[in-house]
Amino acid sequence: MVFHRWLDRWDEHRAQRGEAAKKATDFILDAGRAFPGAEEINSLEQFCVRAERAVSDPGFYDEPAGSARGFDLHNGWLKFPSEIATDVDENNTVWAKLTESCSRDQVLVIFHHWNASARNRQIASFFSRRGITVVEIAMPYHFERSRPGALYADDMLSSNLGRTIQSIRQAVLDGRKLIRWLKSEGYDEISVLGMSLGSWVAGLIAAHEPAVSKASLFLTAGSLADMVWTGRATRSIRDSLEPAIRLTDLRRAWAPLNLENFAHDLARPDLALQAVFATRDKVVLPELTKHFIEKLHQAGAVPEVLKLNCGHYSLGAPPYILLGGCSLKRFLSRAKAPNGIIRSAIGQSKI
């Protein structure tokens, strides 16, 4: 179809923007960043064993005690200290934009995509007018948290295995800290929305934070290792990884970042799940998303699934953004049952 060929070309053109800034870098274990106190790990096998152990460690994504302190809200901007201190000072303060509604019944926390250049003002405005407060958090090394002089957020996702784990873990801990603050401020129903890389963060938060009752994951999959290895936007990272590590070992090394390893946590009965994916996606391949959804089903989850016949970037253009937005609105508008349990029905839409 002519339209879809044009759509594929548009997605490829969009993927090329900013690609010149992405360079191959050194492969580094950096175990001390990923697992505090594990500086003695100096082999890939040791790293993988420690990473696999972290999957079953209930404290790996838990907040430290007393972490609810340090919040400062002024003129719609919220800032607070991150739960992890890094060597980039700017990254150690978390910034979030609040777009308040007339009610404190419901709040949506948005986790943006990798290398996002702007927050989602239109989404925030749309939902705030409909009674849902929107909080747009800056993930590590993005927006106000960027490393000075950085051309893109290479510290959040890279061939440095340990820093990538630290960055995703930092994003999860920061998100959980924000969510607990929102709960203390009187918000009743807390939902999370993750886009692309942000969907991994939102998914991990939903798996570990009982205060989250709805999670919408756009352009998502389970294995971050597979996404990086096969994705159009992460070729430079694969070029850096491939001489030093096989995909099978990368899966082990990044096991704590694989949402499929937490499928049973995502299947808890009081969590509603939505997955939106693009069937022409070259960044997060549809096969990876389908595999993740199968794992969710096997764990007993009943996610609402929307598939759109577009690409990764063209999902942000009409008519696909309208279809995705309407689906998200319906998902967030679904009321809790009297016992507090929310179950989503399987739904599919195809253009």
* Strand intervals (E) in 237-344: 272-278, 304-308
* Strand intervals (E) in 59-140: 72-74, 77-81, 93-99, 106-111, 132-137
Q: Per-residue pLDDT for 23 more than 80?
A: no
Task: Read off the pLDDT band of 164 (50, 70, 90).
Answer: very high
pLDDT tens column, 188-238: 999 999 999 999 999 999 999 999 999 999 999 999 999 999 999 999 999
Q: Which pLDDT value is given to residue 350?
A: 33
**Strongest mean pLDDT among 8-12, 331-335, 345-349:** 331-335
The mean pLDDT value for 248-263 works out to 98
The mean pLDDT value for 138-155 works out to 94
Q: For 55-69, 124-138, 166-180, 296-310, which range has the lowest pLDDT when averaged over its residues?
A: 55-69
Task: Read off the pLDDT band of 24 (50, 70, 90).
Answer: confident
Q: Per-residue pLDDT for 18 more than 80?
A: no
CA distances to 159, 220, 237 from 154, rounded to whole Å, are: 9, 20, 9
Q: Which pLDDT value is given to residue 37?
A: 85
Which domains are present in the chain?
2-333 (3.40.50.1820)
pLDDT tens column, 89-112: 999 999 999 999 988 899 999 999
CA distance 141 to 138: 8
Q: In the predicted model, what is the mean pLDDT of the chain?
A: 91
The mean pLDDT value for 21-49 works out to 90
CA distance 1 to 309: 12
Q: Is 57 left (phi over 0), alpha (psi -120 to 50) or beta?
A: beta
CA distance 151 to 174: 23
CA distances to 161, 276, 279, 289 from 307, rounded to whole Å, are: 31, 6, 7, 10
The mean pLDDT value for 8-14 works out to 77
The mean pLDDT value for 271-286 works out to 97
Cβ contact 211:179 at 8 Å:
yes
The mean pLDDT value for 160-176 works out to 98
Residue in the structure block whose two tokens are 């990923």: 34
Nearest to 204 by CA among 169, 177, 231, 228: 169
